């Protein structure tokens, strides 16, 4: 009896440690969130955010943010100048679209023909899933019914020929 | 029964598969052929038919400011170029000849230096000859305003201030003449 009482605090100790750690983590998270993250983005971060959506016209599959080309540098400087003048990121993207066409945007737009590009992968995934589900379902229902798939005429012929070969050894 | 053991009952199914495969291959081939026939770097200009973006740029030689707004009523041939660009060297004689023919008929020729050094441009002018203004574009802002992605690019601006056409890559005398003539009033197009 005495032994049981003595072991209880020892058993509780790990649980209390874990509970304390959880409470501490929750408090730290709450304090961190209340401070609102690392602060407002710098000018360079804002420029990079807009430049990342634009295609570098003289590169192969590089964004204006990632390209070291002179044209991309000039485009980044233009973005910075426009941000400093108080233009919104969307208005700046629209400026480049008005000069270079929709081609300049790395992501297709969410409307019109651009919607097809967004929807196609999902549609292909669903269609593929349906095909797989159809074949699996058919196989399973056949197995449940205990029947083998019917033999084709050529398979039946082959069996007949091979059995005949077994029966008449040379 | 055929030599490979297939019977008449299998044939339609096999044909269906063969036809479907062939059709997919042909469709894929057609798509690839269509894609390969296009130049992936050819950027279509969305500016044709729109008002030409305004600019005020300094002439490399005289330091005088040139304002596009002052040229309303004239046909303007606006050529973006660089001395390091091979196609610009190639198209220069045609540009020069067109300027000699139409420079006095109210057609304004302007060049804009693109990602180049002033000293190189001046050397080029001395060597090749150039009678029309060559404009400096600090930071390439005017080139960005015209959606330029490489040189040479030539814009044809009508008397109404709208961009009537654009040539990406080297132009030629024949092309320049035909574009200019299409923009000049009938009496002046000789």
Q: State ipTM.
A: 0.80
pLDDT in tens, B129-182: 989 999 999 999 999 999 999 999 999 999 999 999 999 999 999 999 999 999
Q: Could you give the 3-state DSSP secondary structure of residue A95? A: helix
pTM more than 0.80? no
Per-residue confidence (pLDDT) for residue A35, from 0 to 100: 66
pLDDT (tens digit, 9 = 90+) per residue, B53-75? 999 999 999 999 999 999 999 99
What b-and-e string marks burial along B79-91, b requiring 16 or more CB atoms within 10 Å of the CB?
Answer: bbbbbebeebbeb
Q: Characterize A71-103 residue by residue with b for buried, 16 or more Cβ atoms within 10 angstroms of its Cβ, and e for exposed.
A: bbebbbebbbebbeeeeeeeebbebbbebbeee
Mutation target to probe the A interface, by most A beta carbons within 10 A, among B3, B4, B7, B55 is B7
Reported as a single tens digit per residue, the pLDDT across A52-106 is: 999 999 998 899 999 999 999 999 999 999 999 999 999 999 999 999 998 899 9
Percent with pLDDT over 90 in chain B: 78
Lowest-confidence pick of B18-22, B23-27, B30-34, B85-89: B30-34
The pLDDT of residue B189 is above 90: no
- Whether B127 shows a pLDDT value over 80: the answer reads yes
**Whole-number mean pLDDT of chain A?**
85
pLDDT, tens digit (0-9, with 9 covering 90-100), for B74-111: 999 999 999 999 999 999 999 999 999 999 998 999 99
d(CA A27, CA A21): 10
Who has greater pLDDT, B183 or A28? B183
Integer-rounded Cα Rg, in Å, for chain B is: 26
Place of tokens 């002439």: B59
pLDDT: is A32 or A121 the higher one?
A121
B12 touches chain A (CB under 8 A): no
Contacts of B9 in chain A (CB under 8 A): 152-153
pLDDT (0 to 100) of residue B40 = 59
Distance from B147 to chain A by nearest Cα, in Å? 5
Residue B11 has pLDDT above 80, yes or no: no
**Looking at the complex, does the CB of residue B143 fall below 8 Å from at least one CB of chain A?**
yes
Average pLDDT over residues A10-23: 80
Question: Would the CB atoms of A58 and B5 count as touching at under 8 Å?
Answer: no
Sign of CA dihedral B97, B118, B163, B38: positive
Determine the pLDDT at residue B190: 55
Give the pair of three-digit tokens for residue B88.
């610009």
Cα separation, B3 vs B7, whole angstroms: 9
Give the closest of A71, A74, A154 to B10, CB-based: A154
- Separation between Cα atoms, residue B20 and residue B107, nearest integer Å: 60
């Amino acid at each position: 009896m005495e032994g049981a009482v003595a072991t209880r605090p020892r058993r509780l100790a790990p649980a209390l440690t874990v509970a304390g750690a959880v409470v501490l983590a929750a408090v730290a998270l709450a304090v961190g969130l209340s401070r609102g993250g690392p602060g407002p983005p710098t000018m360079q971060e804002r420029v990079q955010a807009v430049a990342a959506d634009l295609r570098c016209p003289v590169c192969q599959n590089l964004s204006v943010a990632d390209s070291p080309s002179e044209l991309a540098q000039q485009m980044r400087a233009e973005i910075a100048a426009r941000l400093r003048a108080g233009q919104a990121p969307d208005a700046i993207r629209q400026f480049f679209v008005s000069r270079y066409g929709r081609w300049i945007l790395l992501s297709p737009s969410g409307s019109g023909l651009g919607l097809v590009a967004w929807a196609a992968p999902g549609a292909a995934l669903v269609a593929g899933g349906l095909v797989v589900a159809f074949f699996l379902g058919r196989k399973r229902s056949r197995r449940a019914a205990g029947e083998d798939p019917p033999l084709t005429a050529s398979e039946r012929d082959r069996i007949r020929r091979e059995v005949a070969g077994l029966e008449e050894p040379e | 029964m055929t030599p490979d053991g297939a019977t008449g009952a299998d044939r339609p199914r096999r044909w269906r598969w063969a036809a479907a495969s062939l059709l997919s291959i042909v469709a894929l081939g057609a798509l690839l052929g269509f894609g390969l026939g296009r130049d992936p770097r050819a950027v279509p200009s969305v500016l044709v038919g729109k008002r030409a973006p305004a600019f005020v740029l300094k002439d490399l030689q005289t330091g005088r400011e040139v304002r596009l707004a002052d040229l309303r009523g004239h046909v303007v041939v606006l050529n973006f170029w660089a001395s390091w660009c091979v196609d610009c060297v190639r198209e220069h004689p045609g540009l020069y000849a067109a300027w000699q023919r139409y420079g006095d008929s109210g057609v304004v020729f302007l060049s804009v230096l693109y990602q180049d050094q002033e000293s190189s441009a001046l050397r080029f002018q001395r060597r090749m000859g150039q009678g029309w203004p060559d404009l400096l574009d600090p930071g390439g802002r005017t080139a960005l305003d015209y959606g330029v992605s490489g040189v040479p690019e030539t814009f044809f601006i009508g008397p109404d201030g709208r961009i009537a056409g654009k040539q990406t890559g080297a132009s030629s005398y024949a092309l320049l003449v035909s574009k200019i003539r299409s923009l000049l009033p009938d009496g002046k197009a000789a």
